[in-house]
Structure 1
Amino acid sequence: MEEVDEVELHVERIAALDLGKAALVACVRVPHRSKPGRRMQEVREYPTTTAELLAMAVWFRQWGVERVVMEATGDYWKGVYYLLEAEGFECWLVNAREVKNTPGRAKTDKLDAVWLAKVAERGMCRPSLVHPPEIRRLRDLTRYRRALVGDRSRERQRVEKLLEDAQIKIGTVLTDIHGVSGRAMMEALVAGRRDPHSLATLAKGRARVKTVQLQEALRGFFTDHHATMLRMMLDNTDRISAQITELDSQIEAAIAPFSEQAARLCDLPGVDTIAAAELIGEIGVDMRRFPTPRHLVSWAKFCPQAHESAGRSKQKGRGKGNPWIAGTVGRIVFSLSRTDTFLGERYRRLAKRRGKPKAVVATGNSALIAAWHLLSDPTARFTDLGPGHFQSRINAERRARNLATQLQALTGQKITIRDGKALIDDTAA
């Protein structure tokens, strides 16, 4: 027999919550007062208002509750969790899939709360990752910023579609219609200027050499109807851009306590200050929650799932995971894929053989492992191995012999390698 590190857990005084939007059901289980080894339980229902939740916290204190366990039900758990956390209780958020009731039994809110309490008191569940308040505030800011960036991109796409509807084709001439030249032309169109020659003279910088093409691109049927809609779209774009700028300053202030960790993450190729803030907001800075780098990449779903049955391994997908960290890592990989670095070369090599989606996952896996080491060890520094690292690991002589063997099998001629040159023996059969 082999000794394992697991310890039989048993929480003496436990509370479990079955959450809803307007109300919740709480079950408290404690040791029996007069019968050793037996348990007592009480179930109550509370509205989810602040006053009622504080009354529930008083009830928990009366029974000396050590831990409060609840399922991750939508966003309903957040207010309850944060309030009880502020009241000093140890709160566990558990995955509903891991504490699912056995089939064939009646399912009510009361029975669900009792079942969750029974599972939790025996240590048959594990808590999900819930970051401390300062990390949560940073995460709210970075997530909202990304949402605003998406809104601005969609508004800009509407602008381009509106111009296409008016037969204004400056998008085929200018790289960015929202640059200095494109914005000046759109403002002039809104102001009532319709002459293509006059509009083309608004080009700035290198766009001036495209005056003839711009005149033809601006020869459309832009009307007052288009001008009204374009004005609204441009105003929305400016408003969102101002909000993003304000969020940038808020993020800079929120990440100040973690400036050292953010600076180390910025050493990674493709990671700028915003990407570092997003990584810290999603995975935190305390890597004790992830005992090894593999735990982190598994939690982020940047590695294949292990699935074995009857001694046979089966291929399974990565799973959904956290879409926010997936978006952040994906943008990091996209940025580093164009760099002359080890990770950039890793992405390009994998993209050739396995395709871009798998290359993104594999390179993101490497980036997360590096991030884990940088966050777990204050003295760690990222050192790039260089794009030639893979070539340096290849034995040139062995590679030449392998290629000669393959060529010999195809041609039937004897091929030998001498002084780095392939010699063909024409007399061989």
Structure 2
Amino acid sequence: MGRYRTPTVLAAASLMLTTLCAGQAPAATPPGLNGIDPVTAEQLDDAITASMRKADIPGVGIGLWIDGEDPYVRAFGTSDKATGVPIKTDMHTRIGSVTKTFAVTAALQLVDDGKVRLEAPISTYLDGVPGGDRITVQQLADMRSGLFNYTEDPRWMAAFKADPHRAWTPQELLDFSFAHPANFPPDARWEYSNTNTVLLGLLVEKVSGQPLHTYLQQHVLEPADLDASSLPTGAEITAPFVHGYTNFTPDGATVDASTWNPSWGWAAGAMLSTMDDLHSWVPTLVTGKLPDGDRLLEPGTQAQRLRMLPTGHPGVGYGLGIADLDGWIGHNGELPGYETIAVRLPQARATMVIVVNSDSDGKFGNLSSVIANTITKIVTPEHVWELPPAAQPNTVPEPSAPSTPTPKPRS
């Protein structure tokens, strides 16, 4: 059956993996995976809280779902240091570069519709891209275009730091990128660049005739039953939400960044979601199938999406808006105040979602990766999350899902 396009008949409630497994006999625990029995759950509780204390993390939300087993879903710490309100797993959070999985999905849907060709140069659809007659849509999606990452531009960085509430247009962001020569010829190597995904967002708008946030709502979020996810058009954040804390400030002081405007990330990193929605989204992302069994993407397109190319970082591959880290497939994200990981380990039938409300990494490195490493050492010792610092995806300089090092905002 073709990809589902009529959101009105979809159920309003999120369909969790545990529902998909209802009525089925529990499967045997896959090799290399430790089941989450009470002893393991207690071990995880202790290890996670110890890591939080060591890295001074205010709050963490964690979900680990293994098909056929009871899930491990926890929230530790506070969502708001001013009031002491505890973090909860149903709170909205900014997801940074996990946004790329949605934006690239939108572009791939247009490929399935015959309106976009992956092998076509981006100049076929958009004007004004330097070297756009040699950079393909596919090279933008798999981070091999060579285009300079605008979030590494010192002038952009200074402007962001001076006014983090400023609203940015996609073209303003691209202007910073296009002021630099390409870092390398198209397809010469892999390099994480938010510029690529901003261009794909503009591609979706140009070809579909809809604003990106509208297209995503109608063609990705509603069919996938993601009622709590959205691409905001400004600095808004849906309540209840997690307050995010950052030290990306002129004096290095830690502040609440929850009202900072994420428009600088746009298609590359501005979306909102919840742990429940991300839990539902990751299997859809990895399989290309919607919760009702219909398809989000055609099988051939999904197979092409999952064709992971080397990144130059050990254990890290990258496909079309999706990463593979030692078997964990999905994406992570980071922007001021927030870090997120949303991944699936297919061979273990496991989904992991991590939300951290701080990006003040300091000497410990990426905080969400600290938590993921703690969890996977215990539960999936044959597939331990160890994201190389130089391969972290972000929206602004510095790391967040596979990318090269940069200074902060990320995505």
Q: Report the TM-score, using the length of structure 2 for normalisation.
A: 0.25
User: Which is greater in Rg?
Assistant: 1
Q: Does 1 or 2 have the higher relative contact order (CA < 8 Å, sep 6+)?
A: 2
| Richer in helix (by share) | 1
Question: Taking structure 1 as the reference length, what is the TM-score of the superposition?
Answer: 0.25
